[in-house]
């Protein structure tokens, strides 16, 4: 993603599905944050409903 060419003022959109009991804890949020540090992104958090 860091190498993806973006026009000035644009950001990558990250869609992240939150699954209860799987990736809905602070540790997972921190891991995601660390992976995307320094990238121009915006998040779309999606809560999964069965």
Domain boundaries, the chain: 12-47
Q: How many residues does the chain have?
A: 50
What confidence tens digit (pLDDT) does each residue in 1-50 have? 888 899 999 999 999 999 999 999 999 989 988 998 999 999 899 999 87
**pLDDT score, position 24:** 92
**pLDDT score, position 50:** 77
pTM equals 0.68
Q: Rounded to 10 degrees, what is the CA torsion of 29, 31, 35, 40?
A: 20
């Amino acid at each position: 993603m860091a190498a993806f060419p973006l026009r000035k003022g644009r950001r990558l959109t990250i869609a992240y599905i939150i699954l209860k009991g799987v990736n809905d804890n602070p540790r997972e949020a921190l891991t995601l944050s660390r992976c995307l540090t320094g990238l121009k992104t915006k998040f779309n958090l999606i809560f999964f409903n069965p």
